[in-house]
Chain A
């Protein structure tokens, strides 16, 4: 019975599954549900037993699909996550998140003296390692890891 409640279907929206255990709250920050969609129903499951990963988190967002820059950000902290688009109770699209080789305009550089904070220019980060994540600012060459990325959400 308990299991049925956890996986209860939503009518329309997005189910983000296979989130790295412990990252669900950061995923909520990325999709900005509190600020942007104060009336959106969001279901969060933390530390759900999973055959593949041991434990995982799940986030279900009703009535909303994710933008590509949100998916890019989720990939950075939960590289094994899957995004399921639900329409009329059916999964119409299922995809794994993927980290691109280059991230443009998604994050700010952690170096306060980086030129990107002072000039009208989009940030660019090169992905040097995917898991655990390691990014290098294309401009100032400063390296950012998960801890510095998460504080931006």
Chain B
């Protein structure tokens, strides 16, 4: 399967076979994590973070360095030429001359697709506004596959289903694999109708439910933060913040093999006591980001 030179912009761009291939490749990377790899020696990754990020940026930097490559970039648009008025297109065309691959996060939806069109080197989308975050989706799928051995799992998605880019791409990918989806959200933060209609067109069985029912039925409980920064109206945020909180008590009626996932950072959606239960998987999930991103970097640079 050919990935060299390819951009990673949206989970919608990938077929089932391609997703499986990436996950298999990540599994091979994980097996080799203890080795000192030099697959990308002499290659440079540019991390362009026009919006703040800690874990995604560090995860990509770690992945590149574990493969023997080097990293350049910025993590605040304020220090970049953007602050001087340069448009995105020019920034990308310039950076494409310095680096072999670009990882970009940008506050506007569609920025990654545009960057990919003007860049001569592969672009990996690390989040474009509230649209897509495909590498998060791939590491979520990787975690589910590792934990459950399959992807057609009944998954309850809890929290902000309206603005959360993570949940839209994850729901799409899980629907492709035939998973059942249970949606749990506070009023006003429901899954947008066009996303729902996409999921149904993919043949997914989608139901809405209370948190209690969802916990009883699900094999995977995917909890998300209600993201203050995505709300156009701060009052709307105040109304729904803290709507759901997962505690060990919430999970008493769960299946034994339920796993709880969260893209992190969490605020108060999952109490720290849950970390000690047999259900918690969010720190394994975050660790899985490294082999998945190593696989993607190696694939698009033709080294895997």
Binding site for B on A (CB under 8 A): 109, 111, 113-116, 118-121, 137-143
Q: How many whole Å from B129's CB to the nearest CB in chain A? A: 5
In the complex, A114→B10 CA distance in Å?
A: 15
Tell me whether B205 is interfacial, beta carbon within 8 Å: no
Q: Which one of A120, A139, A140 contacts B87 once the chains associate, using CB atoms below 8 Å?
A: A120
Q: Is A115 a contact of B109 with CB atoms below 8 Å?
A: yes
In the complex, A129→B107 CA distance in Å?
A: 29
Q: Is B108 a contact of A113 with CB atoms below 8 Å?
A: yes
A contact residues around B106 at 8 Å (CB)? 115
Q: Is A115 a contact of B12 with CB atoms below 8 Å?
A: no
Known contacts A113-B107, A138-B110, A140-B108; can you find 19 more A-B pairs with CB under 8 A? Answer: A113-B109, A114-B108, A114-B109, A115-B106, A115-B109, A115-B111, A115-B113, A116-B114, A118-B87, A119-B89, A119-B114, A120-B87, A121-B114, A137-B110, A139-B109, A139-B113, A141-B131, A141-B132, A142-B109
Tell me whether B88 is interfacial, beta carbon within 8 Å: yes
Q: Which one of B10, B108, B194 contacts A115 once the chains associate, using CB atoms below 8 Å?
A: B108
In the complex, A61→B130 CA distance in Å?
A: 44
Q: Which one of A114, A116, A139, A143 contacts B194 once the chains associate, using CB atoms below 8 Å?
A: A143
- Which of A111, A114, A138, A140 has most chain B Cβ within 10 Å? A140
Q: How many whole Å from B109's CB to the nearest CB in chain A? A: 4
Q: How many whole Å from A118's CB to the nearest CB in chain B? A: 6
Q: Which one of A118, A138, A141, A143 contacts B108 once the chains associate, using CB atoms below 8 Å?
A: A118
Complex: chain A residue closest to B198, CB-CB? A143
Complex: chain B residue closest to A143, CB-CB? B194
Q: Which of B55-103 contact A (CB under 8 A)?
A: 87-89
What are 28 residue pairs bridging A and B, where the CB atoms are less than 8 Å apart in the complex?
A111-B109, A113-B107, A113-B108, A113-B109, A113-B129, A113-B130, A114-B108, A114-B109, A115-B88, A115-B111, A115-B113, A115-B114, A116-B110, A116-B114, A119-B87, A119-B88, A119-B89, A120-B87, A121-B114, A138-B110, A139-B109, A140-B108, A140-B110, A140-B113, A140-B129, A141-B109, A141-B131, A143-B194
A contact residues around B111 at 8 Å (CB)? 115, 139
In the complex, A18→B128 CA distance in Å?
A: 42
Q: How many whole Å from B119's CB to the nearest CB in chain A? A: 14
Complex: chain A residue closest to B117, CB-CB? A121
Q: Which of B171-207 contact A (CB under 8 A)?
A: 194
Q: Is B109 a contact of A140 with CB atoms below 8 Å?
A: yes
A contact residues around B10 at 8 Å (CB)? 141
